[in-house]
Amino acid sequence: MNTLRTAMLLAAMTALFMGVGYLIGGAGGMMIAFLIAAATNLFSYWNADKMVLSMHRAVEVDERNAPEYYGIVRELASRASLPMPRVYLIDNPQPNAFATGRNPENAAVAATTGLLQRLSPEEVAGVMAHELAHVQNRDTLTMTIVATLAGAISMLGNFALFFGGNRDNNNPLGFIGVLVAMIVAPFAAMVVQMAVSRTREYAADRRGAEICGRPLWLASALDKIARNAERIHNPDAERNPATAHLFIINPLSGERMDNLFSTHPDTGNRIAALQAMATEWDASSGGPTMGGGQPNPAPAPRNAPQADAGHATGPWGGRPKAERPEPARPETNPWGRNPTGPKGPWS
């Protein structure tokens, strides 16, 4: 099913690319656009993940320089029966994360320093479980190729401003064709991004909750990320808006788009679905199954904060991390914790 969806998406994006080429240069322009689209598809399959990581200046980390973050991803990958992905860190204060790669064997997950600093280990586990769900569902290839092609279509639309509308270039619609190429084509590419991302986020939320075993970990993380993303600017994402749908929460400021055209479903609806999922599990006294058909809920986190009246903001109703004293942050450890200490919420 994922293979069919990817093939249909590639066909639609290629047809859109050719249509823009036709509007700019007639039949000749369409053929050139087809060749460019075919080359872009081939390049995207093998290299789009590297391009996206480079756009956001992601740096690969390991157990030595990011022990807790790396340990959480390793534990989650093991629980999901996935190969260990490459792990990246993005130096950005906005809390966010994404996954990329053409298949589970060549996957990568990336989190911002803001995510590691502003969320608890349990909430980070929920986020990274969501990203690994995208890997397991093979959404990453589709979403990464869409990011590359949407950016290329927007670029081609901009070319229309300089090369379209001339009577000597066989443009069949003249200035109207230029306007369509400049406005309609990038908009259509954005609609495809919306269709891909919105339908996959709910599925990744649910599967991510199953992988980490605690729906409320992810629900709490989504709430914190959404609130911080609204007030913390992400310059790299603003420069590369075609990659916005890769992130767990829209990283853009929203200055150039209305919520109607957001690439992500409403965060409140996602949180409500996860809360309903947690209630359902509590009612059945069970949890997610990781194979074999038996419930396999995650163990309770060590030293989980106790309920604190007036501060019920986390999954356990505990005091938000921002209100607790911050320890000194060693340069080699983005968590700011002792590298020899616990490596994750299940330690």
Sequence ranges of the binding site for Zn(2+): 130, 134, 201
User: Would you call 131 a catalytic residue per the annotation?
Assistant: yes
Q: How far apart are the C-alpha atoms of 3 and 24, rounded to whole Å?
A: 32
The pairing of strands 86-90 and 97-100 is unpaired
Distance CA 215, CA 122 (A): 11
The token pair at 35 is 């060749």
How far from chain centre, in Å, is Cα 335? 21
- Measured CA to CA in angstroms, residue 284 lies from 89, 277, 278, 279 at distances of 38, 11, 10, 9
Q: Which 8-state DSSP code applies to residue 343?
A: -
**One-character DSSP codes across 271-293:** HHHHHHHHHHHHHHT---B-STT
Assess contact for 130 and 121: CB atoms under 8 A: no
Q: Which of 60, 131, 210, 230 is catalytic?
A: 131
Task: Note whether 96 and 251 are within 8 A (CB).
Answer: yes
Q: Classify the C-alpha dihedral 127-306-231-58 as positive or negative.
A: negative
The helix (run of H) or strand (run of E) holding residue 129 is helix 121-136
Q: Report the catalytic residues.
A: 131
